């Protein structure tokens, strides 16, 4: 959409990573110089991808708000065209083509669930779908760590909200776009927020069940279903947007472990046992007797307060499922006086997996 003079001068944008990669890729294809400003919390993989596409990458700012200020300043100094990743009408129109694809590929849709960051994606998708099929429910999902759209609805206009560290880094926008907010607000039927625990569980479940890798932002819609936030959609035909697969390998590993812990398949338990020869071995033998796999064992003597003949043993172990975890809990409690599980999962996590 830019004329030859603006293309020659180049473009700039601030992004947490996904928009940065897109603009870097198309700049590379079109021969347009691209500069992207990314906050220091942006995933390393996204930064490297942008550099591979030949973009000038500036990693500055603690969050999107600071990075955007830096990008706007650079745009003014160097006469670059600033391209907003979620609030420019052309960008929203491009994202709205997802809505057209959904309408073209899926029949008899009851609801479409869309993650919300800056608001551009849900604005474009909602406008496309509501125009074609006004009865389709549009549901927005935010991380509870960065619920900027919900805050904007409460305030009646886009307003700054503090952003906490989140697995859904692609949604961590401190203030939603004005154009996106005004476009999307009258078209959204419901907005829910999801916890980090269920985002991690959603990433794990998508890897195990669908064999696909989805980043936290893209998994937010599935997380809302797992957390029971969308139970009114049971029995209905629902479309989830898995919008983003750009997740660092290290972060993916953490998400999988956190998801396993949330599900009770990865447990951490502290047991106080006798410090006589064979005391720790008996504990390990007892755990393995029911098929629980031990991943790590750490023992502590100096800070045990009960007596000098006891040792505190911390065990990280793997179970098959919730029932297996419960079996281990009952077994240890029946044999030892002091047993403490760290964040033992609730049944709610498993009820949603039926």
The domain 89-258 is placed in CATH, from the list 3.40.50.1100, 3.30.460.40, 3.10.20.30, 1.10.1050.10, at 3.40.50.1100
CATH no., domain 4-82? 3.40.50.1100
pLDDT exceeds 90 at position 306? no
pLDDT exceeds 80 at position 80? yes
Smallest CA-to-CA distance from 168 within 154, 183, 149 is with: 149
Provide the pLDDT for residue 157.
Answer: 95
Q: Which helix (H) or strand (E) segment is 240 a member of? A: strand 238-240
Provide the pLDDT for residue 258.
Answer: 86
Domain ranges of the chain: 4-82, 89-258, 264-351
Distance CA 71, CA 14 (A): 6
Distance CA 301, CA 309 (A): 9
Provide the pLDDT for residue 70.
Answer: 96
Distance CA 175, CA 118 (A): 7
Phi, psi of 163 (to 5 degrees): -105, 130
Band of pLDDT at residue 305, cut at 50, 70 and 90: low
Smallest CA-to-CA distance from 139 within 242, 233, 218, 245 is with: 233
Q: What is the pTM of this model?
A: 0.83
Q: What is the mean pLDDT of the chain?
A: 91
* Number of other residues whose CB lies within 10 A of the CB of residue 256: 17
Q: Do domains 4-82 and 264-351 have the same CATH topology?
A: no
pLDDT exceeds 70 at position 331? yes
Smallest CA-to-CA distance from 243 within 111, 109, 102, 353 is with: 102
Distance CA 154, CA 152 (A): 5
Band of pLDDT at residue 288, cut at 50, 70 and 90: very high
Phi, psi of 251 (to 5 degrees): -70, -40
pLDDT exceeds 90 at position 276? no
**C-beta separation of 22 from 47 below 8 A:** no
Smallest CA-to-CA distance from 194 within 185, 203, 184 is with: 203
pLDDT exceeds 60 at position 8? yes
Residue 259 has which token pair? 């998801």
Q: How far is CA 70 from CA 76, 295, 341, in A?
A: 10, 46, 46
Provide the pLDDT for residue 6.
Answer: 95
The domain 264-351 is placed in CATH, from the list 3.30.70.3270, 3.30.70.260, 1.10.340.30, 3.40.980.10, at 3.30.70.260
pLDDT tens digits, 160-201 = 999 888 899 889 899 999 999 999 999 999 999 999 999 999
> Residue range 42-65: average pLDDT?
91
């Amino acid at each position: 959409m830019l004329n030859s003079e603006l293309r020659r001068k180049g473009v700039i944008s601030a992004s947490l990573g996904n928009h940065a990669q897109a603009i870097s890729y198309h700049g590379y294809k079109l021969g347009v110089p691209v500069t992207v400003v990314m906050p220091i919390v942006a995933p390393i993989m996204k930064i490297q991808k942008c550099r591979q596409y030949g973009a000038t990458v500036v990693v500055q700012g603690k969050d999107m708000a600071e990075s955007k200020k830096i990008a706007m300043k650079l745009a003014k100094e160097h006469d670059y065209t600033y391209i907003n990743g979620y609030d420019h009408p052309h960008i929203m129109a491009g994202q709205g083509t997802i809505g057209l694809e959904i309408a073209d590929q899926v029949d008899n849709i009851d609801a479409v669930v869309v993650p919300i960051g800056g608001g551009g994606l849900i604005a474009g998708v909602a406008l496309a779908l509501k125009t074609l099929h006004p009865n389709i429910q549009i549901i927005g999902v935010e991380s509870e760590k960065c619920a900027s759209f919900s805050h904007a609805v409460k305030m009646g206009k886009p307003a700054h909200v503090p952003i906490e560290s989140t697995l859904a880094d692609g949604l961590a926008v401190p203030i939603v776009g004005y154009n996106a907010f005004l476009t999307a607000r009258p078209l959204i039927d419901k907005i829910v927020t999801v916890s980090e625990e269920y985002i991690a569980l959603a990433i794990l479940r998508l890897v195990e069940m669908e064999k696909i890798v989805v980043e936290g932002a893209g998994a937010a819609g599935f997380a809302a279903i797992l957390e029971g936030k969308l139970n009114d959609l049971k029995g209905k035909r629902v479309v989830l947007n898995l919008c983003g697969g750009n997740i660092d390998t290290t972060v993916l590993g953490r998400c999988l472990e956190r998801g396993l812990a949330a599900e009770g398949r990865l447990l951490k338990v502290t047991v106080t046992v006798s410090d006589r020869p064979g005391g720790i071995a008996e504990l390990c033998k007892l755990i393995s007797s029911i098929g629980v796999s031990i991943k790590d064992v750490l023992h502590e003597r100096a800070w045990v307060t009960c007596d000098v003949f006891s040792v505190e043993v911390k065990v990280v172990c793997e179970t098959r499922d919730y029932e297996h975890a419960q079996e281990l809990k009952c077994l240890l409690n029946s044999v030892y006086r002091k047993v403490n599980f760290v964040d033992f999962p609730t049944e709610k996590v498993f009820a949603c997996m039926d």
